[in-house]
Structure 1
Amino acid sequence: MTGASEFVVQGWCPGALRPMLSGDGLVVRIRPDAGRLTRTQAAGIAKAARTHGNGLIDLSSRGNVQVRGVTQASHPGLIEDLRALDLIDADAATEARRAIMVTPFADATTSSLARRLAAELTQGPVLPGKFGFAVDTGPAPVLQAVSADIRLERCAAGGLILRCDGVPLGTPVTPQDAAQRAVDLAHWFVAAGGVTAGRGRMAALIARGVRPEQADTAPAPPPSAYGPGLHPMGALVGFEFGQIQAETLAALAALGNVRVTPWRMLLIEGLTALPDRPDLIVAVDDPRRRVIACTGAPGCLQAHAPVRPLARRLADQVPLGKTLHVTGCAKGCAHPGAADITLVATAKGFDRIRQGSAQDLPEAAGLAAAEIESEGLFR
């Protein structure tokens, strides 16, 4: 760690019923059922974000939707509106258990499996706040680079497997028993001491040498990375830093049902032409896709500086195939993994890290934004 940029690890993720305080108000996270929103639900979220928040909506790296700028006074009204859209769980405990990502390219079988898993988890063990599941049972796994602890995937032969994060092989399961087997694996994780392993993550438990039984089947190879554009199920569109204006979400909702992705993009079902809006990212080679930036100051209480204006100015310096991560503190929420270059805001300027994450040692410290811009990142 750099030691120069202190941060607080909350150890839990915000929800709708248990929001998290940020610099611009409460962050209210909505977990769409099986990763899908109907037109009515998407339009309703947009309206609620304007009425009860500041009109800004974030897409999280776990396929959730976050309404920003909510106040203590406006939160009850927001929950009432979301409940009317069937987007609220019975209570905060149930909401926290339903930490499930679903492939955006899900068919009816996958969506049904995700719902069965959500139902089984209501009787599952109490798991750490960051613990999550991935239902990645489309034609090929597409969520392997996304944080999840227990994964349901397809093998090369087309069958289903259950796999622990950190283990390359999984165990064959059937559509009938997959959900229950996933919950059983969560019980195994708790019994094996996983709650105390590396902030309660499966990969940390596996790194200790603990292994589940009968993991002997490899997942199908992943396809090439997905980018914005037209796909068989509709149009996949991105947003700068994964943030949407409420008006944009309302306009997209008018075009079709919406699937939320963990790549901070939305899939609008059934479209055969890309939406024409200036605030959408629709080109694979758009330089903004190569830059990751958190909310930064003043929207985040832990950030040492605004980061998105700098990230925006630096985007054109990032070559194809490279990534730049600009973060307001060493916590690195927007991108916990390594990037080609990571810039970490501190009380003394920006630390620069090459081929590492926000918590790795920097090669240079206390840089001014103007200095970073003038020197060039990839020279």
Structure 2
Amino acid sequence: MSGFAIRGWCPDAWHPMAAGDGLLVRVRPRLGRLNRKQVLGLCDAALTFGNGMIDLTRRANFQLRGVSEAEWPALIARLVELELVEADPVLEKKRNLLVAPIWQEADDTARIAAELIARLGELPELPGKVGFVIDAGPVPVLPGEAGDFRIERAAGGSLILRAQGRTAGAEVTAGAEVDRLIAMARWFAENGGPEAGRMSRFTAELPEWAQGSLLPARGSCPLQPGPTSTGAAWGVPFGQISALALARLITDPAATALRTTPWRLLIVEGAAFAPVEGLVDDPADPLLRVDACPGAPSCPQASVETRALARRIAPQVTGRLHVSGCAKRCAATGRADVTLIGREGRYDLSGEGRERLALGRDKVLALFGAG
């Protein structure tokens, strides 16, 4: 790995990103699912080659933290062995897809996603953040999640191909969905899309076969902690969990696999729902309404700590809270009712009529009655 460049791109396993606690190595589970062996192997790898902390990202991926440059090659070999990372770095970069997490074996979502993964080699080179969304269940669950090229259920029940930024899509026949996704990706790559960076910023007229007037069906609410059709779901505060805690989730004899979601929830197939230490089991828990980046010292860009402060003030905030360690505003999942942004060791506050600049931590706590 000597000589590799670390930039501010969206990382994958073959292109890690530097953080204050070491390298971030992203793992993209196929169809957002890991079997028991893969979960335990991932946890062992996080403890052996990293600092034992694992992030759950907004793309339903995992990030192993605290990996050193010296340990990275052995980690990659282990992840490839577990079939969590493609052995070909080019294919791994292309495997950027978000799948509706409550899929059933051989349903439309699983079928389309599996075929797209099998045909990654047919995709052109795309900007690092460009990705696919497969949301082909009876009711869409990912309408609020970013994705440039989408297969979704239409209001009338058919499947549509829709480009991000367009309100409507074109109907696709069963079995042709992946052909259309690949064709749209090639059209984007060949007609100036990479210069725009994302489909939502690309204003060129779509090819005729991608134009349509079918609207996606009305989406359902994201999952909440509790029983699911496949097992049980728990919230992960700030999207971070220790490898030991993650391993404990799968040690239940009834648990067969783990599914990731873009909502900082983990689903354990076959598990019965019950409180789990360190995870959120109450849908009303204020931590489910908090977005907070790792902050200082985990991120070299941050000048303030974030998550301990967020825990203190979250119960006092009505609505959504976002705490960012710097002006990049990382970790945001949408509009926040209260925002705290780190700047030179202090916090700028906006929301709920409390517009203040350069507040010390104690002052922030006092303002929210959490001192």
1:97 aligns with 2:94: yes
1:160 is displaced (CA, Å) by 1.1
1:174 aligns with 2:173: yes
Identify unmatched segments of 5+ residues in structure 2.
Answer: 1-5
Correspondence for 2:242 among 239, 245, 264: 245
Identify unmatched segments of 5+ residues in structure 1.
Answer: 1-8, 356-361
- For CA contacts below 8 A with separation 6 or more, give which structure has more relative contact order: 1
| C-alpha contact 1:15 1:92 (8 A) present in aligned 2 | no
1:144 is displaced (CA, Å) by 1.2
Moved more, 345-354 or 154-163: 345-354
1:364 is displaced (CA, Å) by 2.8
Query: Which amino acid in the other structure matches residue 286 of structure 1?
Result: D
1:72 aligns with 2:61: no
| C-alpha contact 1:150 1:162 (8 A) present in aligned 2 | yes
| C-alpha contact 2:7 2:17 (8 A) present in aligned 1 | no
The equivalent of 2:25 in structure 1 is 28
Query: Which amino acid in the other structure matches residue 150 of structure 1?
Result: F
Summarize deviations over 1:20-78 as a string: whole Å, max 9, x none.
Answer: 11110111100001111001101111111111111101000001011111111221221
1:101 is displaced (CA, Å) by 0.6
Summarize deviations over 1:303-343 as a string: whole Å, max 9, x none.
Answer: 11111111111111122xx1000011121221163211111
1:170 is displaced (CA, Å) by 0.9
Query: Could you tell me the TM-score, scaled by structure 2's length?
Result: 0.91
The equivalent of 2:265 in structure 1 is 265
1:216 is displaced (CA, Å) by 1.0
| C-alpha contact 2:8 2:17 (8 A) present in aligned 1 | no
The equivalent of 2:155 in structure 1 is 156
The equivalent of 2:362 in structure 1 is 370
Partner secondary structure for residue 122 of structure 1: helix
1:215 aligns with 2:212: yes
Moved more, 295-304 or 74-83: 74-83
| C-alpha contact 1:120 1:180 (8 A) present in aligned 2 | no
| C-alpha contact 1:11 1:129 (8 A) present in aligned 2 | no
1:354 is displaced (CA, Å) by 3.1
| C-alpha contact 2:32 2:101 (8 A) present in aligned 1 | yes
The equivalent of 1:114 in structure 2 is 113
Q: CA RMSD in A?
A: 2.0
Query: Which amino acid in the other structure matches residue 357 of structure 2?
Result: A
Cα gap change, 1:87/1:137 in structure 2, threshold over 3 Å: closer, same or farther?
same
CA distance in 2, matches of 1:309, 1:211: 47
Summarize deviations over 1:68-113 as a string: whole Å, max 9, x none.
Answer: 1111122122122222211121222211111001011112232121
Query: Which amino acid in the other structure matches residue 130 of structure 2?
Result: F
The equivalent of 1:354 in structure 2 is 351
Cα gap change, 1:216/1:264 in structure 2, threshold over 3 Å: closer, same or farther?
same
CA distance in 2, matches of 1:48, 1:228: 27
**Percent identity between the aligned chains?**
44
CA distance in 1, matches of 2:148, 2:182: 12
Query: Which amino acid in the other structure matches residue 152 of structure 2?
Result: E
Partner secondary structure for residue 157 of structure 1: coil
Summarize deviations over 1:151-202 as a string: whole Å, max 9, x none.
Answer: 11111232211111111111111231101101111122223322122xx011
The equivalent of 1:300 in structure 2 is 299
Query: Could you tell me the TM-score, scaled by structure 1's length?
Result: 0.89
The equivalent of 1:124 in structure 2 is 123
| C-alpha contact 1:19 1:27 (8 A) present in aligned 2 | yes
| C-alpha contact 1:22 1:301 (8 A) present in aligned 2 | yes
The equivalent of 2:336 in structure 1 is 339
CA distance in 2, matches of 1:334, 1:122: 31
